[in-house]
Structure 1
């Protein structure tokens, strides 16, 4: 075996035992399946725009609040908002009380799209997780939620 191949196998063996790597594998599978369903439905969004649409489905937020909620920097959020505004999915208005703030809300088209995405995400989750029994799904969700709750305290 060549040195490079040996180095790769050593790296691969170590990383395949990593908790982070296994979580990444699950995420990649779920995202790949969801993206395929979105493409089939003619939904053309970049991955970083999706959380903004879904967050705004419940209520309007300032750009700063969206940045905090999504844990993304202001310039990244601004790029996504500008792209969504060009697609007529969001509306940006100055805050009536604080003119320094921009309030972002979904347009009617954005609301309709968010509903479609929510249904596609549910379908994708059901299809991807169909390999598990109901009991396994429930236990996995409880375990993952517990991990996420504990990590949120860091």
Structure 2
């Protein structure tokens, strides 16, 4: 019994010393809350996508891109992007065509169904964000966005 209590105390101390004060962990907790609500809303809406597929669809809302460009923008390796594209293609959300100028490139674009779904996903993401952030006053929300945006801008320059 003493070992169990000692283990619990060690975990508690680890939490206090290592995790609770970790900036990364706190950001992860925020992200998890938003994603949990977004996933629930997407499930309610009948949208069955994996989280790693969402950025691809949202990036393609504006224009078709090569697989390489998608890989660069999402910071994912080419094989991971290819798996996601293949899954999205099977769901008729994207189409892949050879680039007219450079036949070595494949251009990925949204289908009409994919574009419609991105509008719905964007609406659900906004709703989830509003619900999660409702615990903050309007002033706190603006301040939090300003701070997080400035951190992200600074970190992107590394």
Q: Does the TM-score normalized on the shorter chain lie above 0.5?
A: yes
The aligned residue for residue 135 of structure 1 is 139
1: distance between equivalents of 2:93 and 2:137? 38
* Stretches of 4+ aligned residues off by more than 6 angstroms: none
Q: CA RMSD in A?
A: 0.9
Greater mean deviation of Cα atoms: 5-14 or 68-77: 5-14
Unmatched segments (≥5 aa) in structure 2? none
Q: Secondary structure at the match of 1:48?
A: helix
Residue 55 in 1 paired to residue 59 in 2?
A: yes
Deviations 1:67-105 (A, max 9, x none): 000000000000000000000000000101111100000
TM-score (norm 1): 0.97
Cα distance in 2 for partners of 1:11, 1:27 equals: 22
Q: Residue 5 of structure 1 corresponds to which residue in structure 2? A: 8
* Offset at residue 11 of structure 1 (A): 1.5
Residue 4 (structure 1) shift:
2.3
Task: Say whether 1:65 aligns with 2:69.
Answer: yes
Counterpart of 1:33 in structure 2 is 37
How far 1:48 moved relative to its partner?
0.3
Tell me the TM-score normalised to structure 2 length.
0.95
Q: Take 2:50 and 2:135, find their aligned partners in 1: how far apart are those partners?
A: 28
